[in-house]
Chain A
Amino acid sequence: MAKKLSFLNKLALNKELLEGGHRLCPGCGHSIIVRMVLNTAMQEGYQPVMANSTGCLEVCTGLYPYSSWNIPWIHNAFENVAATLSGAESMYKSLSRRGKLNNDKIVFIAFGSDGGTYDIGLQALSGAAERGHRFLYVCDDNEAYQNTGNQRSSATPYGTRTTTSAVGTADPIGKKQKRKDIMEIMAAHEIYTAQASPSYWMDLIKKVKKGLKQNGPAYLNVIQPCTTGWGYDPKDTINLAKLAVDTCIWPLYEIENRRSKVNYKPKNKLPVEEYLKKQKRYAHLFTPKGKEALEKIQQLTDEHWNFLLEREQAGF
């Protein structure tokens, strides 16, 4: 416990690399995750260089003539954060090789949300991962395109109401498809792939450290509660991030060298309702018409959770 606290104290004492005064909603999970990731990098003695895809985080921190960033930071477009950072990392390699730069502390970190990662940015991410650039890609997954007003993405779970998976008299469910399994897609690139939650911060930090140590790409999928899109009280951000893990909707696990490890197995696995009922995006499920969808969410969650446990047990 003492060790835990001293690390936390140190983290808290770090110079803020993401300044206050940005325009993210109160309670937004983006800034919490970014600070955990960047402070860990700094604590480890690294000098992070960051690229950000278009989205809430970018828009709320890089509004000319202001910037919230105390580190080198680049925003290019929505779908190309991985390609952009792969260019910067290649320049680093080139200049280092040519003796024009001497700094072995630099690490490259990309931040994208689900839209810029699972959807429009998937090709660039896959390309950069295959090429083997040394970078940590963090997906702040808030399960929709929040910056443009909460439209569905391929990360949006089954049964979610968004502004493009609307719920109405003719449609009581919302999104009909389940989430895209980005973890398996990224793991198929044979890179360090991990899923984390800001509620389990020691686990998240461990994964950041591991990701930054890779001599190549690493992918970190982090649940990022969004107060505005999900519809909950801003004070509950971390509570929700915890409930997502404790219901096994958002398992903490990692895949490395074709072997998976479930990092946390809740002793008391909570029913999915405990997590869903706190969010307006699922309010329609707590009506007679939503009963079936609720059961399906529980079923999908169990199937995935059991798959992870079985696979781990089988040694893969």
Chain B
Amino acid sequence: MSKRVALSGNEAAAHAIRQINPDVIAAFPITPSTPIPMAVSQFIADGKMTTEFVTVESEHSAISACVGASAAGGRVMTATSANGLALMFEILYIASGMRRPIVAPVVARALSGPLNIHGDFSDVYGVRESGWVELFCQDSQEFYDTIIQSVKLAENESVLTPVMPIADGFDISHTVENWYMEDDEAVQKFIGEYHSKYSLLDTEHPVTFGAWAPPDWYYEHRRSQLEGLLNACDAFKAVDKEFGEKFGRSYGVIEKYHSDDADIVVIGMGAVSGTIKDAVDEMRANGISAGFLRVKLFRPFPYKDIIEALKGAKAIGVFDRCITAGAQTAALCTDIRSAMYGKSNIPIVNYTYGLGGRDTTVSHVKTVIEQLKEAAEGKKIDLINYINLRA
């Protein structure tokens, strides 16, 4: 039986990790994800989990130890944020290149400088080409569920790719919400046992991990690695469906909120979704045909589902919690514009929001929807707009 609890997003992640009870965790503290390794330490001290916890001296060593532990044949997790993820950058590519099914919840935070510890997607956007699956969550329930789903997704034979479940720093990590925690046994049963085909500890069958590839092999490696990442789209749908059948909650790679019949569609990811949904409700009550499309799976980008979902739109506004420095638009908007290329000529406008923990309110989103309505009627507006930014 699941039970209703009132706990923060970090606690949701920590409980998911406790229930997964991976063979090895290597982690290093950083705000806002610090409560996760703290909780792991306490769970172990209280005999509530039996994971080998490697208290490394940096995030670089955390992910390095994860790669070594994963190559040694078991289930491996870590968690981090911001500068920690940036410090891991080099090894994220090695983890995915070695096809290590590591699950690393990231509590997304702004990157320095200036130093800022608050919610922002600069860290997770920054590693979007690293070959990891990126799954954005909108609340604690979803963070909890997605972490559990991620284990099954990463270890799927056709995927074998590391996965990052993502929650906005503070907005989710430090906000107490009501959510359902499943039984330990039910979670264990859902994820099942992990059997690695190759292991460093199989001395009878020695395997070389991490050989280097010259120009006549590197390209093939990268292309075949991509196959695993791309398979994650369908594989996630299957895992999510199974999760729904078992626990009554599923999410899809995208979520459509009144978007099917909407003229104005706002697109976004993560914690801002609740605010956008409220704004959509209010606008609809005022007779404006607005809808919201939430992207949950950011990498691999589910462009087919997105194109299908945007068929009826007359104007689109894409929310990015990050500046993609020097690009025409920020990353999510660029992906949407690329997906829509040749499909329609409607305005697709970018809205930067929430950098470094800046508030985004329902009234901000309502203003956006009004702007988009004018754009749909032919009014020219800037390609990139900055919500709640002082002039």
Q: Does residue B26 face the partner (Cβ distance < 8 Å to A)?
A: yes
Contact B211 A101 (CB under 8 A): no
Q: Does any Cβ of B come within 8 Å of A279's Cβ?
A: no
Binds B, one of A89-97, A190-198, A222-230, A296-304: A89-97
How far apart sit A78 and B227, CA to CA, in the bound complex (Å)?
27
Question: Looking across the interface, which residue of chain A has its beta carbon closest to that of B66?
Answer: A87
The segment from A25-33, A125-133, A158-166 found at the interface with B is A125-133
B57 touches A88 (CB 8 A): no
Please give the distance in Å from B48's CB to the nearest CB on chain A. Answer: 15
Q: Say which one of B106-114, B196-204, B310-318, B378-386 lies at the interface with A.
A: B196-204
A232 nearest CB across to chain B (Å) = 28
Question: Cβ of A90: which chain B residues have Cβ within 8 Å of it?
Answer: 24, 26, 52, 54, 65, 69
Q: Residue B217 at the A interface, CB < 8 A?
A: yes
Given contacts A62-B211, A62-B212, A98-B23, contact A77 B57 (CB under 8 A): no
Cβ–Cβ contact B55 & A77, under 8 A? no
- In the bound complex, what is the Cα–Cα distance between A100 and B66 (angstroms)? 19
Instruction: Contact check, B212 vs A64: say whether CB atoms are below 8 A apart.
Output: yes
Closest-CB distance, B357 to chain A (whole angstroms): 30
B279 to chain A, nearest CB (A): 45
Whether A126 contacts B57 in the complex (CB less than 8 A), given A75-B209, A94-B23, comes out as yes
Q: In the complex, A59→B211 CA distance in Å?
A: 8
A84 and B64 in contact, given A64-B213, A67-B208 (Cβ under 8 angstroms): yes
CB of B162, distance to nearest CB on chain A (Å): 14
Q: How far is the CB of A81 from chain B (nearest CB, A)?
A: 8
Chain A positions within 8 Å of B203 at CB level: 47, 49, 71-72, 103, 105-106
A80 at the A/B interface (Cβ < 8 Å)? yes
Q: Are B52 and A83 in contact (CB under 8 A)?
A: no
| Contact indicator B201/A64 (Cβ below 8 Å) | no
Which of A73, A88, A124 counts the most chain B CB atoms within 10 A?
Answer: A88
Interface centre among B26, B68, B69, B71 (most CB of A within 10 A): B68
Contact B210 A76 (CB under 8 A): yes
Within 8 Å of chain A (Cβ to Cβ): is B50?
yes
Q: Which A residue's beta carbon lies closest to that of B205?
A: A72
Beyond A64-B211, A75-B212, A101-B201, is A93–B52 a contact (Cβ under 8 Å)? yes
Work out how many contacts link A and B, with CB atoms closer than 8 A: 165
Chain A residues, Cβ within 8 Å of B207: 72-73
Q: Are A75 and B50 in contact (CB under 8 A)?
A: no
Compute how far the CA of A201 lies from the CA of B320 in the bound complex, rounded to whole angstroms. Answer: 62
Distance (Å) between the CB of A86 and the closest chain B CB? 5
Instruction: Tell whether, in the assembled complex, residue A62 and residue B67 are in contact, meaning their CB atoms are under 8 Å apart.
Output: no
Looking at the assembled complex, report how far the CB atom of B74 sits from the nearest CB atom of chain A, in whole angstroms: 5
Chain A residue nearest in CB terms to B95: A76
* Structural contact, A51 and B68, CB atoms closer than 8 A: yes
Interface SS of A by simple majority? mixed
- Whether B211 pairs with A67 at a CB distance below 8 angstroms is yes
Give the size range of A's interface with the partner: 35 or more
Which residues of chain A come closer than 8 Å to B51, judged between CB atoms? 94
> Which residues on the A side are within 8 Å of B55 (C-beta)?
131
What 0/1 pattern do residues 156 to 195 of B give for CB contact below 8 A with A?
Answer: 0000000000000000000000000000000000000000
Q: How far is the CA of A228 from the CA of B3 in the complex (A)?
A: 67
How far in angstroms is the closest Cβ of chain B from A16? 13
Question: If A76-B94, A83-B56 touch, does A123 touch B61 (CB 8 Å cutoff)?
Answer: yes
**Complex Cα spacing A126 to B91, Å:** 19
Query: How far does the alpha carbon of A162 sit from the alpha carbon of B104 in the complex, in Å?
Result: 42
| B211 engages A87 (CB within 8 Å) | no
**Contact B67 A76, beta carbon cutoff 8 Å:** yes
**CB-CB < 8 A to A212: which residues of B?**
none
Q: What B residues does A79 contact at CB under 8 A?
A: 60
Instruction: Enumerate chain B residues within 8 angstroms of A69, measured Cβ to Cβ.
Output: 206, 208
> Which one, A73, A77, A127, A131, contacts B94 given CB within 8 A?
A77
Interface 0/1 of A43-60, CB less than 8 Å to B = 000010101000000110
Judge if B72 is at the interface, Cβ distance under 8 Å: yes
Interchain CA distance A83-B65 in the complex, whole Å: 5
Do the beta carbons of A92 and B201 come within 8 Å of each other? Answer: yes
Which B residues are in CB contact (< 8 Å) with A63? 211-212, 214
Q: Which residues of A contact B213 (CB under 8 A)?
A: 64
**In the assembled complex, how far is the CB of residue A206 from the closest CB belonging to chain B, in whole angstroms?**
24
Nearest Cβ on chain A to B265's Cβ, whole angstroms: 43
> Does B360 reach chain A (CB closer than 8 Å)?
no
CB-based contact B68/A86 at 8 Å: yes
**Cα(A51)–Cα(B90), bound, Å:** 18
Asked whether B73 is an interface residue with its Cβ less than 8 Å from the other chain, the reply is yes
Q: What per-residue 1/0 map shows which CB atoms of B56-93 lie under 8 Å from chain A?
A: 11101110111111111110100000000000001100
Task: Tell whether, in the assembled complex, residue B201 and residue A95 are in contact, meaning their CB atoms are under 8 Å apart.
Answer: yes
Q: In the complex, are the beta carbons of B52 and A91 less than 8 A apart? A: yes
Q: Which residues of chain B come closer than 8 Å to A93, judged between CB atoms?
A: 52
A85→B54 CA distance, assembly (Å): 12
The answer to whether A87 and B58 have CB atoms under 8 Å apart is no
The digit string for A137-169, where 1 denotes a CB below 8 A from any CB of B, is 000000000000000000000000000000000
- The answer on a CB contact under 8 Å between A62 and B214 is no
A83 close to B212 (CB less than 8 A) = no
Shortest CB distance A161–B (Å): 29
Contacts of A51 in B (CB 8 A): 68
Nearest to A75 among chain B residues (CB) is B210
A74 at the interface (CB under 8 A from B): yes
CB < 8 Å neighbour of B57 from A49, A103, A124: A124
Cβ 8 A contact of B69, one of A47, A87, A105: A87
Q: Is A65 an interface residue (CB 8 A)?
A: yes
- Taking a contact as CB atoms under 8 Å apart, the answer to whether B67 and A87 are in contact is yes
Q: For residue B70, which residues in chain A have a CB less than 8 angstroms away from its CB?
A: 87, 91
Closest to A73 in B: B208
Additional pairs, 10, CB under 8 Å, beyond known A88-B201, A103-B203, A123-B57: A62-B208, A64-B214, A84-B65, A87-B72, A98-B50, A106-B201, A124-B60, A126-B57, A127-B58, A127-B61
